[in-house]
Chains A and B, each alone.
Chain A
């Protein structure tokens, strides 16, 4: 059962603009994501997709408009505060911690759930030790889920690109987010890896009950996984609806193909 109409949407972006000097990267875009949904954000290069995601994550301050999460205004939060609300994300160009093992990378996803004082941790004693082991157990479940047991101890920087993307997803999942933002989760992958990733995204949505907003270029993938598609072009929203409807939308065809159409 997808999010009901009565409850407020999980994420509500309301007429948000982001500017860099004279350039308006995102222009009064509104968009809402309901609980349990998978929403795809698509658009040509430079349409403002990543910028919009960055505004939601707190990296950029919107020039105007508001962003609300679970019904509360969250427009002016810094990234760590956004993370504390339960929003996790991955990056277009994989932002793993290259010097750390895969296990440690995923463990960082648990940081917000961990408490303690540095004195206890320096002694690795009592609560500090217990906490470490509890979170390790949780992380191992994610490792099993994403089928990356074999690379647990490998430094993240040495992994092939496809696996790095998977580890980055694992790190985001470790935070048990309410909303997961994925920036081109399948960029640069081969067909097989894409199929795996599609499966993981659908599984995450169902098994962990995680709401997902993703940016993707591969239209096949978008049509397969998403409940709803939002299309941006030159910083403006030009379409918003179920995949089948958006596929036929005249403005979308225009933006993508750049030719006049007469149907």
Chain B
């Protein structure tokens, strides 16, 4: 009994203190994974905020974007052109989704829209692989996958670039929401559909814009993850890992998605490396959920949520 307590409560921390460089590497690895979760969660939050749709297909959108990008690069398109074309494809996809899925289902219950996005999930998975093939592909965008060492800590150039890209993306999105008319309308629509309409922007446009933005976020996520581990079906599975991030950060908070993603990414890596071996490993699949749930017991409103007073 005492041994078990020691193994859970003392030994992992002693290991951490014993090899700080390794700890930092674990933290960086977690940070990178967390960034991925943040990006997927971010696309999700954007859509949920603006349209109340729980978009289960966000993960497949990442896969689809990455497949398109790789497909274009393989056919000899220059990087910038490929990025531009992929963006165009994601915007076209947003138009198609608005026209074919959302518009006919407007005013339906949320669970119905949720189910529709699961349908979309299947469709895009089949469609993407039909177009570009199902093999694992290496995504090469010209950033070398090599490491340099700072004070005994290994840092991967690719991961660093990806992290900077993600940070820039988040900053751009923040500016977009604060400074542009449509960005402000998007924020308004989250609170009140009528208010947004009174700004003179049709709901239809808002939906297309928000799905397009989520598509662009998906490209960045696909780019990062694809460059790191190749483009393959498992890419869409990271969407599931983004879900506990949403419990933690809240479905409607952009800041929650980002901070929540980092917490989950780091927590998960620490858990796997230091506590995982105690129970036979491979706990990454569920550890994030348990972490998020445990957090909710302490703070039911999530990271940035305000305590909700229910109107009766």
State the A residues within 8 Å of B (CB).
20, 50, 54, 57, 59, 91
Task: Tell me the smallest distance from the CB of B312 to a CB of chain A, in Å.
Answer: 5
7 contacts between A and B (CB under 8 A): A20-B309, A50-B312, A54-B312, A57-B312, A59-B310, A59-B312, A91-B312
Complexed CA–CA distance, A59 and B309 (Å): 10
- Beta-carbon nearest neighbor of A59 in chain B: B312
- Beta-carbon nearest neighbor of B309 in chain A: A20
Task: Tell me the smallest distance from the CB of B137 to a CB of chain A, in Å.
Answer: 48
Complexed CA–CA distance, A57 and B310 (Å): 14
- Beta-carbon nearest neighbor of A53 in chain B: B312
Complexed CA–CA distance, A50 and B310 (Å): 13
Task: Tell me the smallest distance from the CB of A226 to a CB of chain B, in Å.
Answer: 23
- Beta-carbon nearest neighbor of B310 in chain A: A59
Complexed CA–CA distance, A54 and B309 (Å): 12
Number of chain B residues whose Cβ lies closer than 8 Å to a Cβ of chain A: 3
* Interface hits, B273-312 → A, CB 8 Å: 309-310, 312
- Beta-carbon nearest neighbor of A89 in chain B: B312
Please indicate the chain B residues that have their CB under 8 angstroms from the CB of A57 in the complex: 312
Complexed CA–CA distance, A57 and B312 (Å): 11
Complexed CA–CA distance, A54 and B310 (Å): 11
Nearest 7 A-B pairs (CB), nearest first?
A54-B312, A59-B312, A20-B309, A91-B312, A50-B312, A59-B310, A57-B312
Please indicate the chain A residues that have their CB under 8 angstroms from the CB of B310 in the complex: 59
Complexed CA–CA distance, A20 and B309 (Å): 8
Please indicate the chain A residues that have their CB under 8 angstroms from the CB of B309 in the complex: 20
Complexed CA–CA distance, A59 and B310 (Å): 9
- Beta-carbon nearest neighbor of A79 in chain B: B312
Complexed CA–CA distance, A19 and B306 (Å): 16
Please indicate the chain B residues that have their CB under 8 angstroms from the CB of A54 in the complex: 312
Task: Tell me the smallest distance from the CB of B12 to a CB of chain A, in Å.
Answer: 41
Complexed CA–CA distance, A187 and B113 (Å): 34
Complexed CA–CA distance, A102 and B26 (Å): 60
Task: Tell me the smallest distance from the CB of A62 to a CB of chain B, in Å.
Answer: 15
Please indicate the chain A residues that have their CB under 8 angstroms from the CB of B312 in the complex: 50, 54, 57, 59, 91
Complexed CA–CA distance, A96 and B289 (Å): 35
Complexed CA–CA distance, A50 and B312 (Å): 8
Complexed CA–CA distance, A24 and B63 (Å): 52
- Beta-carbon nearest neighbor of B307 in chain A: A21
- Beta-carbon nearest neighbor of A95 in chain B: B312
Complexed CA–CA distance, A179 and B46 (Å): 47
Complexed CA–CA distance, A54 and B312 (Å): 7
Please indicate the chain B residues that have their CB under 8 angstroms from the CB of A59 in the complex: 310, 312
- Beta-carbon nearest neighbor of A21 in chain B: B309
* Interface hits, B70-115 → A, CB 8 Å: none
* Interface hits, B46-84 → A, CB 8 Å: none
* Interface hits, B210-269 → A, CB 8 Å: none
Task: Tell me the smallest distance from the CB of A248 to a CB of chain B, in Å.
Answer: 33
* Interface hits, B155-206 → A, CB 8 Å: none
Complexed CA–CA distance, A20 and B312 (Å): 14
Task: Tell me the smallest distance from the CB of A69 to a CB of chain B, in Å.
Answer: 19
Task: Tell me the smallest distance from the CB of B27 to a CB of chain A, in Å.
Answer: 38
Please indicate the chain B residues that have their CB under 8 angstroms from the CB of A91 in the complex: 312
Please indicate the chain B residues that have their CB under 8 angstroms from the CB of A50 in the complex: 312
Complexed CA–CA distance, A142 and B312 (Å): 26
